[in-house]
Structure 1
Amino acid sequence: LEEVIGIRPSRGSLAEYGISYRQVDLLPDSSFDLAGIAAALEDPSIRLVTIQRSKGYQTRKTLSVTEIGRAIAAVKAQRPDVICMVDNCYGEFTERIEPSDVGADMIVGSLIKNPGGGLAPIGGYIAGTAECVENAAVRLTSPGLGKEVGASLEVLPSFYQGFFLAPVVTAAALKGAIFAASCYEKLGFDVLPDGSEERHDIIQAVTFGHPEGVIAFCQGIQAASPVDSFVTAQPSDMPGYDSQVIMAAGAFVSGSSIELSADGPIKPPYSVYFQGGMTWPHAKLGILRTLQNMLDRHLIQL
């Protein structure tokens, strides 16, 4: 995303089209800096405020829908003309409400994460006001055509069935994340969130403090995968990242992170990010394999 925006120079970025970007970081307690946001909104050229719900490769808490709603209300009170968009990835169906219920003009996400239920083979979604959806549609295809045309690639039934199953699949992933947090915090590792905290997405972060832990964890997840379990995950250079990254996901859908998966950058603080597991038993198996892997390499003691 940094290269898409143009924070790191990249051909075809938004910056090349004259679209500027300004970031207001969260406060140390992971809450919104409302004063900083208000100051940024003094710039009359601002048309869009975007909020990332999940933590990404950061060790911060995930934003709740309620927190997002408060921030949107503050933005709209000052600048009702500004569009509020929420990157909802990993958060869908983890709460009873979504950001669109608390004032977001547009929410976006991936169909190979929570809302695809593990069945959608590709795709993303955009939901929100008619104006926002229409504007996105004409950018995706072309002016005058919008969402009236476009290849469906015969995957629409998988999308609909995936949406139907998504809540129960997401619930299984949440159980797996809570189990992972409970196991690793009892072993003395920093986990975020911990085993008793309220959840707002499916991601579980575990900080090891050394690369060996990240690698061993990911290789354990890969070994428990239904596809390519014989493969040994290794860190490598990847486009869009400023360090080597290790990714484990022996999934039926390439890149799916609602299926059992784990990944992390090989740089301090050496945290791994675990998510997914379409069924609770499989998520549990995956975590047990990571523990066995860590034990075999003398990285933990039981």
Structure 2
Amino acid sequence: MKNKNYNFSLAEEMVISVEEGLKGIFNERSNQIYYKLNNILKIFKEEKVSTSHFNQSTGSGHDDLSRQKIDEVFAKFFLAEKSAVRMQFVSGTHAISSVLFGILRPGDLMLSVTGTPYDTLEEVIGIRGKGKGSLLDLGVGYRQISMDERKNSYEDKLVDFFKHNKCKLVFIQKSCGYSWRKSLNNNQIKQICNLVHSLNPETICFVDNCYGELVEDSEPIINGANIIAGSLIKNLGGTIVPTGGYIAGDSELVEMACCRLTAPGIGADAGINFGFGRLILQGLFLAPQMVHESLKGADLVAAVFKKLGFIVLPEPKSYRSDIIQAVRLNNPHLIQKVCQSFQNSSPIDSFLNVIPSPMSGYDSNLLMSGGTFIEGSTSEFSADAPLRDPFNIFVQGGSHIAHIKIALIQLVFELLEENLIEKESLIFP
């Protein structure tokens, strides 16, 4: 018992000490909330958002005032011509898929400029799982260019590609996904979009904006993107929106994507939000606070794991463009241990065992720690990892830094108890 108490105290002291060293970046991140919330408040006032926009409609939802107002608010937030915020989107992948299938036609060519897309998009494109109606099955061409840290080399690849190909759509994945690369920031997205449009003004720049909303001072539309898509159980849902996704961008492109979601001729002009209008609007109102709690949590996760001797990406105190923190554990047993510990510190389903499992849309078995109020919500504290070499874990979300701190103290304690880390690594001068 004495040894347990000592180990817990040591773990607690270590995490608190790491947190002390992050006070400067924490203050900086907290200060950013003011400007982002102020912008959202201005939009709500300009759009005269009222309790009438919480009302529920039925049927097809033609002339649904709540849906229309929410679309207008999100369009103004993204500085887009049009947006479509829909509960009918089951995930960010569904919203992205609707854009791709809505815009691309047989014979068109799509280019991913950020390498292999996130796992759940592989079957949408047709890289994996043939014969299910993927883009490749329907006659859409696909190519990809890997990200290169050397700017000139990357730009040369892009210029050379456009010299020899007529490209309808360029796909840009802002987040790192399950890859070990830095997530793109909006300045990099601007450079890519500007280059693409200089090579062919007709090419559509489409940004997968998942995990990146409200992290930076701007969003991709003002940085040159023609259309973006994402999920409402990530950043913009503020941890309270139960499902759904969004599309925003050029009016014609958003309408084409909505024609894929509903039907040609209906497009964005129908669809109810099942009485969740208040939650969608309140989620957006809460989102700046929640996103920046996640960012502080990511700094703390990075700093703790780095102190324990692991490689992390991004480094603590880094400029961040999304809420994901990657850690290279190099060990499947350790991944399971970390996920299980985080699950045990979750508010929901803390008693469940985390085991490797297949999941629809993913090629590898996954370990997922997700004891969240909204199932699969990555705006709440969660961690997941594909069980493949080099065994990286991806941690994201967190509605408040205190929860992440509690989970990290418990993790370090358990690692000490099982002799998976050395006590010497926790001692501070």
1:226 aligns to what? 347
Shift of 1:39: 2.1
2:227 aligns to what? 106
Structure 2: state its 5+ residue gaps. Answer: 1-120, 424-429
SS of match in other structure, 2:211: coil
Shift of 1:29: 5.7
2:218 aligns to what? 97
| Equivalent of residue 177 in structure 1, options 298, 302, 305 | 298
**TM-score, normalised on structure 2?**
0.68
| Equivalent of residue 3 in structure 1, options 123, 126, 132 | 123
Q: Distance in 1 between matches of 2:211 and 2:152?
A: 19
Give the CA RMSD over aligned residues: 1.6
1:196 aligns to what? 317
2:361 aligns to what? 240
**TM-score, normalised on structure 1?**
0.96
SS of match in other structure, 2:348: coil
SS of match in other structure, 1:40: helix
1:286 aligns with 2:407: yes
Deviates more, 1:82-91 or 1:234-243: 234-243
- AA aligned opposite 2:142: Y
Task: Give yes or no for contact 1:117–1:163 (8 Å, CA) kept in 2.
Answer: yes
Residues 178 and 31 (structure 1), Cα distance of their counterparts in 2 relative to 1, 3 Å cut: farther
Q: Distance in 1 between matches of 2:152 and 2:252?
A: 30
1:260 aligns to what? 381
Deviates more, 1:131-140 or 1:175-184: 131-140
Any residues of structure 2 matched to 1:52-67 within 5 Å, and which? Answer: 52-67=173-188
Q: Distance in 2 between matches of 1:12 and 1:258?
A: 31
Q: Deviations over 1:100-148 (max 9, x none)?
A: 1211111111100001111111011111111111111111111111111
- AA aligned opposite 1:169: M
Structure 1: state its 5+ residue gaps. Answer: none
2:154 aligns to what? 33
Shift of 1:295: 2.3
Task: Give yes or no for contact 1:263–1:273 (8 Å, CA) kept in 2.
Answer: yes
| Equivalent of residue 159 in structure 1, options 280, 295, 298 | 280
SS of match in other structure, 2:368: strand
- AA aligned opposite 2:128: R
Q: Distance in 1 between matches of 2:267 and 2:125?
A: 23
- Bigger RCO of structures 1 and 2 (CA < 8 A, at least 6 apart): 2
Task: Give yes or no for contact 1:170–1:258 (8 Å, CA) kept in 2.
Answer: yes
1:18 aligns to what? 139
Q: Deviations over 1:126-173 (max 9, x none)?
A: 111111111111111111111111132222221111111111100000
Task: Give yes or no for contact 1:117–1:166 (8 Å, CA) kept in 2.
Answer: yes
Residues 139 and 31 (structure 1), Cα distance of their counterparts in 2 relative to 1, 3 Å cut: farther
- AA aligned opposite 1:207: R
Shift of 1:215: 0.8
SS of match in other structure, 2:259: helix
Task: Give yes or no for contact 1:250–1:261 (8 Å, CA) kept in 2.
Answer: yes
Shift of 1:45: 4.0
Shift of 1:186: 1.2
Structure (1/2) with the larger helix percentage: 2
| Equivalent of residue 200 in structure 2, options 44, 54, 79 | 79
Larger Rg: 2
Residues 160 and 78 (structure 1), Cα distance of their counterparts in 2 relative to 1, 3 Å cut: same
- AA aligned opposite 1:228: D
- AA aligned opposite 1:268: D
Shift of 1:32: 7.9
Q: Deviations over 1:224-271 (max 9, x none)?
A: 111000112111222332322100100111110010100001111111
